[in-house]
Structures are given as structure tokens and as C-alpha cells.
């Protein structure tokens, strides 16, 4: 997971249509009708901007999203919420945030549909105030990579994600996020991260050899070392898959 720098400018379709669409939902809830969520939150310009801001990667697992694979995901679930896996679905959800740019992320189908679903645990469930549309007291247990630095809650031990340690205990938000998105137990994801990690370590080894050669060598040897250094740096660039993991390594051992 990596910090997302989301565009400040809200996509046009949300800017112009979200107020009316949200009022319509409020009306349906007041009248006890079944809420019909429109497609505005996944309009083309919304999808495109989210994809661009996230460099084509899932907000949670950092897998590349290829083609149309992926979904506009509501950080706070729009239709209903679940505090924990053994909880029942509570309705309504955070309906007034359905078209709120700050509540939208782009994620892979697995993170969105298979893992997170309507889960939105809080440190204290009693702080949830859906009736007044008030989220000011909430302390969510899922990291929002667009609103905070995931590095405050998680770290990496090689290619495994771990919660940060707070004194003698694990960071609860880090721990919950890792568990919900199966960040260490989704085999396909783990395999991808492991392969990327092995490739990175091989390039580091090559860089060390090239540097040694460059110390005693000519300009050509030096330019080879510089080129390899650029390839190593690319692993932690925003465009790479699993930037969060490589950024963490980079901080530990530049």
C-alpha cells in the first residue's frame, strides 16, 4: 500500500451532478424506498482521474489494474456497513458520500468485491452516526491511502506486510487492513510481490558489483553503474507495482 496523491480538482461529472443525485437518495431513504444508486460515481471522467492518480494500480493491494478490470470503490460503503466479519449488514450505509470525491478510490475486484465488501470497522462502533450523516467522531480501522500515509501503520519485512509496532503491540489499523485485504494471504498477490522483490534484490546485487568495477574502471564502467542505479530507483517510483514496499526498503537502505 502506498500513499495516493489524489487530484484536488473534482471531476466535472461529480462537480455538476452529485448534489441532485445525493438529494434523490436522501428522498428515497426518507420515504422508506429501496435506494437506487446511479452510475455517476463511476462516470468515465471519475474512473479516468482515479486511475491516473493511482498510476493504474489498486489503492489497497497495489496490483496493476489492466484494461477495464477494476472498480470505483467507496472507502465508506454506500449501501450498508459491517463492523466485523461476524456482524450482519446494517442499512443504510454512508449514502451521502456516494458521489463524494474524497470517498472514492479505484481498486481491483478482489479487494473491492471479495475482501472489503461492506466492511467498515471502527475502533468504537458507537462513534458511528449515520442518522446525522456525521463522521467526525469515527476512527476507521481501514487505512485510507488517499487520506493518510500507510507507512504510519504498516511496514515491510522483505515482501511481507507487517503492522507497525506500537510499544509491545501491533498497530491495530495496520493489522486490520492487512487481514481484510489478505495482503499476506492472497497467493496470487504474495507471489507477485515475492517475484518483484527477488528481481529487486538481484538488481541490487548487480549494482554493488557494477559500483566495485566502476571504482577501478573507466567512464564506460561508471555509466553502466549509473544506469543500473536508475533501474533500482525505478522500483520505488510511483508508476511501479508495489511502490510502497520498495519505498520502505529504500528508506531502510538507500
Q: Which residues bind Zn ion (CB under 5 A)?
A: 58, 60-61, 108, 111
The residues that bridge with 129 in the sheet, in sequence order, are 134
Least CB distance to Zn ion at residue 190 (A): 13
By C-beta, is 63 or 128 nearer to Zn ion? 63
What ranges make up the beta strands (E) of 38-159?
71-74, 104-107, 154-157
By C-beta, is 60 or 235 nearer to Zn ion? 60
SS3 81: strand
Least CB distance to Zn ion at residue 80 (A): 21
By C-beta, is 14 or 58 nearer to Zn ion? 58
Least CB distance to Zn ion at residue 47 (A): 16
By C-beta, is 111 or 228 nearer to Zn ion? 111
By C-beta, is 2 or 18 nearer to Zn ion? 2
End-to-end CA distance of the chain: 20
Closest CA to 74 of 36, 27, 136, 117: 117
By C-beta, is 1 or 43 nearer to Zn ion? 1
Least CB distance to Zn ion at residue 105 (A): 10
| Sign, Cα dihedral of 176, 77, 133, 10 | positive
Least CB distance to Zn ion at residue 58 (A): 3
The residues that bridge with 166 in the sheet, in sequence order, are 169
SS3 134: strand
Q: Which alpha helices (H) appear in the chain, and where do they start and end?
A: 12-30, 44-53, 109, 172-180, 187-216, 219-234, 243-252
| Sign, Cα dihedral of 201, 203, 209, 215 | negative
Least CB distance to Zn ion at residue 111 (A): 3
Amino acid at each position: 500500500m502506498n500513499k495516493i496523491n489524489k487530484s484536488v480538482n473534482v471531476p466535472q461529472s461529480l462537480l455538476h451532478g452529485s448534489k441532485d443525485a445525493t438529494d434523490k437518495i436522501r428522498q428515497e431513504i426518507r420515504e422508506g424506498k429501496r435506494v437506487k444508486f446511479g452510475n455517476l460515481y463511476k462516470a468515465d471522467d471519475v474512473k479516468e482521474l482515479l486511475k491516473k492518480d493511482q498510476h493504474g494500480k489498486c489503492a489497497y493491494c497495489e496490483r496493476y489494474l489492466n484494461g477495464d478490470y477494476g472498480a470505483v470503490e467507496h472507502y465508506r460503503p454506500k449501501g450498508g456497513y459491517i463492523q466485523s466479519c461476524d456482524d450482519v449488514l446494517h442499512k443504510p450505509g454512508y449514502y451521502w458520500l456516494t458521489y463524494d470525491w474524497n470517498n472514492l478510490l479505484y481498486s481491483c475486484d478482489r479487494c473491492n468485491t471479495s475482501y472489503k465488501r461492506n466492511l467498515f470497522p471502527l475502533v468504537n462502533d458507537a462513534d458511528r452516526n449515520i442518522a446525522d450523516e456525521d463522521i467526525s467522531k469515527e476512527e476507521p480501522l481501514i487505512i485510507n491511502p488517499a487520506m493518510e500515509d500507510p507507512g504510519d501503520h504498516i511496514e515491510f519485512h522483505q515482501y511481507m506486510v507487517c503492522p507497525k509496532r506500537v510499544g509491545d503491540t501491533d498497530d491495530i489499523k495496520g493489522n486490520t487492513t492487512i487481514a481484510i485485504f489478505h495482503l499476506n494471504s492472497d497467493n496470487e498477490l504474495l507471489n507477485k510481490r515475492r517475484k518483484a522483490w527477488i528481481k529487486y534484490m538481484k538488481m541490487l546485487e548487480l549494482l554493488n558489483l557494477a559500483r566495485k568495477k566502476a571504482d577501478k574502471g573507466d567512464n564506460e564502467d561508471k555509466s553502466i553503474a549509473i544506469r543500473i542505479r536508475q533501474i533500482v530507483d525505478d522500483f520505488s517510483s510511483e508508476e511501479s507495482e508495489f511502490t510502497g514496499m520498495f519505498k520502505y526498503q529504500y528508506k531502510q537502505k538507500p
